[in-house]
């Protein structure tokens, strides 16, 4: 799986560099693994801006701007939280010279080994924010994708990264060449 992640991350970074696009990530259950999937690739610094590892629910609100009431009522494992995290990290790392060209990718979920309240182990949401100007349809993307993963804690975290990379690849490399 690592080789597949490396190939996909390299393709996404290359596409972003050719199109003047930057990437930022916001991570909960993956705890930096998604960022690592990009920085493993030589030259990633031309595109990858950084990652906010907001494991704590209050950090999601204070660092990424996720609605505190949403977090209180739904918890951190929710599609709207994933969408908000993706948008929040794109905004957090945006700089005037990048214009509206920062893609935000987020992960939130339950890695296990057991459930978190009523949320089963393996329930993961991947958030993706792609600004309008980068979308082939001109509508932008602000989506959350639900995953129901199986395996150990380490496997759930690794699979969440793999799926996050596949999603961003679909909306960039695979959809807009």
Model pLDDT for residues 4-34, shown as the tens digit of each residue: 999 999 999 999 999 999 999 999 999 999 9
Q: Compute the distance between CA of residue 9 and CA of residue 31 in angstroms, rounded to an integer.
A: 17
Strand-pair partners of 51: 25
Please give the structure tokens belonging to residue 24.
Answer: 């930022």
Torsion sign across C-alpha atoms 136, 5, 24, 167: positive
> 177: pLDDT confidence band, cut at 50, 70 and 90?
very low
Q: Compute the distance between CA of residue 120 and CA of residue 17 in angstroms, rounded to an integer.
A: 38
More confident residue, 121 or 134: 121
Let me know if 153 is exposed, middle or buried by CB neighbors in 10 A (0-12, 13-18, 19+): middle
Phi, psi of 95, deg, nearest 5: -130, 150
pLDDT of residue 100: 87
């Amino acid at each position: 799986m690592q080789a597949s992640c490396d190939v996909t991350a390299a393709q996404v970074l290359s596409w972003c560099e050719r199109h003047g696009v930057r990437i930022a990530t916001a991570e909960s259950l993956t705890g930096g693994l998604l960022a690592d999937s990009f920085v493993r690739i030589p030259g990633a610094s031309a595109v990858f801006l950084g990652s906010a590892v907001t494991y704590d629910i209050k950090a999601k609100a204070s660092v990424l701007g996720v609605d505190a009431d949403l977090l209180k009522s739904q918890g951190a494992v929710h599609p709207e939280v994933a969408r908000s995290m993706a948008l929040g990290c794109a905004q957090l790392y945006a700089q005037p010279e990048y214009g509206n060209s920062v893609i935000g990718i987020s992960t939130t979920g339950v890695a296990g080994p057991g459930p978190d309240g009523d949320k089963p182990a393996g329930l993961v949401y991947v958030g993706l924010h792609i600004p309008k100007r980068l979308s082939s349809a001109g509508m932008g993307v602000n989506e959350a994708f639900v995953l129901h993963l199986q395996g150990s804690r380490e496997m759930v975290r690794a699979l969440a990264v793999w799926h996050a990379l596949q999603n961003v690849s679909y909306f960039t490399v695979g959809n807009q060449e």
